[in-house]
Amino acid sequence: MRPDGRGLTTLFRAKELELKGENFIVRSLTVRDPSDRIVGTIAVAVNLQERLVAQRVSIKNIILTSLLVLLAVFLVSIVWGQNLVRPIKILRDGTERIAQGDYSVRVKIDSKDEIGELATFFNGMVESLTHQRESLTNLKRFFESILSQSPSIILSADEEGRIISLNTAAELLLGITEREAVGNKLFELFPILQELKEEYFTVLLSGSPLFLESFSYRGRDHVEKTLRMVLFKVPREKGAMVVIQGEDITEKIEMKARLFHAERLGALGEFLGRFTHEFKNLMLGFSGQLELLKREVPKDSPSQHRLSSLENVLTRSQRLGESILDFTRKDRLQKAPVELSEAVESVLGLMGKTLLQNIELERHYYPGGLKVLANREKILLALFNVLLNGRDAIASSGREKGLFRITLDRILWPGTEKFWVRLSLWDNGSGISSGHLQKIFEPYFTTKGDKGNGLGLATVKEIVEEYEGQIQVESEVGVGTSFVFLFPELESVKPTV
Residue 11 predicted with pLDDT over 80: no
Name the least confident of 32-36, 215-219, 294-298, 420-424.
Answer: 215-219
Residue 427 predicted with pLDDT over 90: yes
Residues 65-73, mean pLDDT to the nearest whole number: 85
> Which residue(s) pair with 404 in the sheet?
361, 427
Q: How confident is the model at residue 460 (pLDDT cuts 50, 70, 90)?
A: confident
DSSP track, 140-173: HHHHHHHHHH-SSEEEEEETT-BEEEE-HHHHHH
Q: What is the pLDDT of residue 483?
A: 94
Domain 150-248, CATH number (from 3.20.20.70, 1.10.730.10, 3.40.50.1110, 3.30.450.20): 3.30.450.20
Please answer whether residues 202 and 210 qualify as being in contact, where contact means their C-beta atoms are separated by less than 8 angstroms. yes
DSSP track, 321-378: HHHHHHHH-SS----EEEEHHHHHHHHHHHHHHHHTTTEEEEEEPPTT--EEEE-HHH
Q: How confident is the model at residue 7 (pLDDT cuts 50, 70, 90)?
A: very low
Burial of 494 (C-beta count, 10 Å sphere; 0-12/13-18/19+): exposed
Q: Quick one: CA dihedral 304, 306, 308, 314, positive or negative?
A: negative
What's 185's DSSP letter?
B
Domain 253-331, CATH number (from 1.10.1740.10, 1.10.287.130, 3.40.920.10, 2.60.120.10): 1.10.287.130
- Cα angle 168, 173, 174 (rounded to 5 degrees) comes to 100
CB contact set of 477 (below 8 Å; sequence gap of 6+):
430, 431, 432, 433
Domain ranges of the chain: 1-102, 150-248, 253-331, 333-497
Q: How confident is the model at residue 365 (pLDDT cuts 50, 70, 90)?
A: very high
User: For residues 147 and 63, what is the distance between their CA atoms, to the nearest angstrom?
Assistant: 81
Residue 484 predicted with pLDDT over 90: yes
For 185-243, what is each residue's pLDDT tens digit? 988 888 878 888 888 999 989 989 999 888 887 766 666 778 888 999 998 888 899 99
Distance of CA 479 to the CA centre of its chain: 44
Q: What is the pLDDT of residue 326?
A: 60
Q: How confident is the model at residue 83 (pLDDT cuts 50, 70, 90)?
A: low
- Asked whether this chain's domains 150-248 and 333-497 adopt the same fold, the reply is no
Distances (CA, A) of 91 to 102, 128, 239: 14, 17, 36
Please answer whether residues 38 and 15 qualify as being in contact, where contact means their C-beta atoms are separated by less than 8 angstroms. no
User: For residues 50 and 48, what is the distance between their CA atoms, to the nearest angstrom?
Assistant: 6
What mean pLDDT is reported for the chain?
79
User: For residues 153 and 222, what is the distance between their CA atoms, to the nearest angstrom?
Assistant: 18
Name the least confident of 35-49, 197-211, 326-340.
Answer: 326-340
What fold, for 333-497? Answer: Heat Shock Protein 90 (3.30.565)
Distances (CA, A) of 478 to 355, 362, 448, 473, 475: 21, 20, 17, 15, 9
Q: What is the pLDDT of residue 495?
A: 45
Q: What is the pLDDT of residue 103?
A: 75
For 257-314, what is each residue's pLDDT tens digit? 766 666 666 666 677 667 776 777 777 777 777 777 777 788 778 777 777 877 777 7
Please answer whether residues 283 and 321 qualify as being in contact, where contact means their C-beta atoms are separated by less than 8 angstroms. yes
Nearest to 123 by CA among 95, 148, 150, 146: 95
Q: What is the pLDDT of residue 84?
A: 64
User: For residues 294 and 368, what is the distance between their CA atoms, to the nearest angstrom?
Assistant: 36
Q: How confident is the model at residue 341 (pLDDT cuts 50, 70, 90)?
A: very high
For 113-135, what is each residue's pLDDT tens digit? 777 777 787 778 878 888 888 88
Amino acid at 98: I
Residue 43 predicted with pLDDT over 80: no
